[in-house]
A and B are shown apart, each in its own frame.
Chain A
């Protein structure tokens, strides 16, 4: 999960460390080339694109940028994306905690299978995920007749978008929590139960505080991915402008229509949200490492 760097204490006799190379040190040129490669790649593939996005977005001034993001269709895509997140994150929190709890605290048949298939949403291509749900819920699909009989729309509507994004981000919370809860065991919960606490109070006062940081971390990853999901949404949303286009989809539409400034303006919002997520994630990691060091 989080990589904690250990600081090597300085040698008390600096003269020696200069004259005698430590046995575990790499040769100078190896170190330098590795650092250079890492920095060049980071600059080329991360920093530069980020700078391009921000530069292009604000190239024609703040006024144009503001007009681009308040344009009705763009604003609708931003609202839709945030709405999806509001649904998807709680769904994944409930699912993730339930799965992690079941896997780490109970013995039941099919447990190894559950552990194996929990990663499936990561393994399947998002386009295939979209198609699966179209086949299930589409008007020609298995449940299509029943749905239209009850006047319900899933495909080419917001529920479909929420379903495919929830599916695609399903493993995030569970994957964070399972190793954490496995490592913690169930003794504290057992102690709580013997002290007369109900199962719910045990979860609330003992389990939740213990998994708090892992849970927040999982939510952040889930949130970041939910906002950026493209492939599966492109299939099930029907790409109705101002209605079923999330931000990534809307950006693509603008791009295809040669509206580069507008495309980059909306991109800058998505990128900004991602940067905020990374900032929160780093803060959480910092808190977590401090918490663990206690």
Chain B
């Protein structure tokens, strides 16, 4: 384990930013800290960097206590959401900065610095911008320079704070794939903060879901997405339909629909909530299956290759959201106002908290 975070606490006046967080960040992996704003993910990242002091707890880098080490001695690379490039320096000077400010004894020769900077600029595919100023680059280019600058000091850990947050959707998607490939190439232990679940699931090796200063769940993106530990994680990772449910010895009842719940056999006569993702429904034009909910299509929205439906059930006041591929929707031949039957393919039941 390269980085251990042990019982870290941090509060700002009355606001608890980080609430007793213990985490281990595996060496060479890219970990995403995922959570809504105010969940403490950025504060935790800044505590790892040494830009904030925790109120209590320990941070260990490779077995060494780093809790009270100064930022400049920690050997972290930090990439800021708004790049934080030095405006008055050229791209070359920015990337070289970490090397040129080293005390003379540790400073590489001018020639070595030059070689290293150019190699990094090639790595981020921006060697042709060496003599430009940050203001002459686009947002995506600036962020790649910021990354090269952070990598120049060969950090023990690379920390990225919403690195794509200030970029537009297309550049964002390109850059996160690029970051994934780059990480596969250089394998530096990395942590990045994001509120975008898609980004976290796509880029990272591990996802840590945070909420209100606490860790809700950690695991591989697949584990977290397929087996959410609690309702919060379920709701945060993508859209979800929520049904009030009555649990009767191993079965969950939603209206007249009965879903087998083998994990809840010893629970009887309790209320709970069932979560079903929009794409986890099979839409049927006729009542061909026993266990299906009847609903009326209220709206049809075509978004690129997918169709989003809003349906109203006989009993519920809330609408059910369903997503299916466009070609499948065409095959069904359904229109707005038509009757449809929904068969849940995948669901998750949580007992109502006492």
Say yes or no: A194-B101 contact (C-beta < 8 A), given A188-B84, A209-B88.
no
CB neighbours of B150 from chain A (8 A):
194-195
Bound: A246/B242 CA distance, A:
82
Cβ of B72 under 8 Å from chain A: yes
A201-225, CB < 8 A from B: 201, 205-206, 209-210
* Contact (Cβ within 8 A) A194 B88: no
Q: In angstroms, how far is the closest chain A Cβ from the Cβ of B136?
A: 9
Which A154-197 residues sit within 8 Å CB-CB of chain B?
Answer: 187-188, 190-197
| Contact flag A201-B78 (CB < 8 Å), given A190-B84, A195-B149 | no
| Smallest CB separation, B192 vs chain A (Å) | 15
B82 at interface by CB-CB < 8 Å: yes
Expressed in whole angstroms, the Cα–Cα distance for A57 and B152 within the complex equals 63
Partner of B84, one of A191, A198, A294: A191
Question: Quick one: which of B194-210 are within 8 Å of A by CB?
Answer: none
Contact of A201 among B51, B70, B101, B153 (CB under 8 A): B101
CB distance from A283 to the nearest CB of B (A): 19
Which residues of A are found within 8 Å of B84, using beta-carbon distances?
187-188, 190-191
Chain B hits for A210, CB < 8 A:
87-88
B70 to chain A: which residues have CB within 8 Å?
193
Given known A188-B84, A191-B80, A206-B86, contact A197–B97 (CB-CB < 8 A): yes
Q: How far is the CA of A190 from the CA of B159 in the complex (A)?
A: 13
Contacts of A206 in B (CB 8 A): 86
- CB of B76 within 8 Å of the partner chain: yes
Task: Report Cα–Cα, A198/B97, bound state, in Å.
Answer: 12
Contacts of A194 in B (CB 8 A): 49-51, 71-72, 74, 76-78, 150
B82 in contact with A187 (CB, 8 Å): yes
Chain A nearest Cβ from B106, distance in angstroms: 9
Of B50, B74, B78, which contacts A191 at CB under 8 A? Answer: B78
Distance between A193 CB and nearest chain B CB, rounded to angstroms: 4
B61 at the interface (CB under 8 A from A): no
Select the residue from A190, A195, A294 with max chain B CB neighbours within 10 A.
A195
Contact B51 A192, beta carbon cutoff 8 Å? no
Q: Contacts A193-B72, A194-B72; is A294 near B78 (CB within 8 Å)?
A: no
Shortest B45–chain A CB gap in Å is 11
Q: Are B86 and A188 in contact (CB under 8 A)?
A: yes
Chain A-chain B contacts (Cβ-Cβ < 8 Å), number: 68
A205 to B73, CA, bound (A): 18
Q: How far is the CB of A265 from chain B (nearest CB, A)?
A: 44
Q: Is B11 part of the contact surface with A, judged by Cβ < 8 Å?
A: no
Determine the chain B residues whose CB is within 8 A of the CB of A198 once the complex forms: 72, 101
Given A187, A201, A209, A294, which contacts B80 in the complex, CB threshold below 8 Å?
A187
Docked-complex contact A196 and B133, CB < 8 angstroms: no
Q: Which residues of A sit under 8 angstroms from B153, Cβ to Cβ? A: 195-196
A190 touches B75 (CB 8 A): no
* A196-B78 in contact given A188-B84, A188-B86, A206-B86 (Cβ < 8 Å): no
Is B98 close to A, CB under 8 A?
yes
User: Are A192 and B78 also in contact (CB < 8 A) when A206-B86, A209-B88, A294-B135 are?
Assistant: no
Interface string of A114-157 (1 = CB under 8 A from B): 00000000000000000000000000000000000000000000
Q: How far is the CB of B46 from chain A (nearest CB, A)?
A: 9
User: Cα distance A190–B51 when bound, in Å?
Assistant: 7
Asked if residues A196 and B102 are in contact (CB atoms below 8 Å), the reply is yes
Please measure, in the bound complex, the distance between the C-alpha atom of A206 and the C-alpha atom of B98, giving whole angstroms: 12
Residue interface bits B9-22, CB-to-A below 8 A is 1, else 0: 00000000000000
Interfacial chain A residues near B101, Cβ < 8 Å? 192, 195-198, 201, 205
Q: For A193, what are the chain B residues with a Cβ–Cβ distance below 8 Å?
A: 51, 70-72
What is the CB-to-nearest-CB distance from B158 to chain A, in angstroms, rounded to a whole number? 10
Q: Which of A192, A193, A206 has the most CB of B within 10 A?
A: A193
Q: Least Cβ distance of A192 to chain B in Å?
A: 7
Chain B hits for A188, CB < 8 A: 84-87
List residues of chain A with CB within 8 A of the CB of B146: 191
Give Cα A139–Cα B31 distance, bound, in whole angstroms.
71
Distance in Å: Cβ of A214 to nearest Cβ of chain B: 13
Contact yes or no, B82 A196, CB < 8 A: no
- Give Cα A187–Cα B73 distance, bound, in whole angstroms: 18
The contact string, 1 if C-beta is below 8 Å from chain A, for chain B 115-142, is 0000000000000000001010000000
User: What separation, in Å, do the CA atoms of A205 and B85 have in the docked complex?
Assistant: 13
CB <8 Å contact, B86 and A294: no
Given A198-B72, A206-B86, A210-B87, CB of A190 within 8 Å of CB of B80: yes
Q: B interface vs A, CB < 8 Å?
A: 49-51, 70-78, 80, 82, 84-88, 97-98, 101-102, 133, 135, 146, 149-150, 152-153
Q: Please provide the 5 A-B residue pairs with the shortest distance between their CB atoms, ordered closest to farther.
A: A195-B98, A187-B84, A194-B78, A197-B101, A191-B84
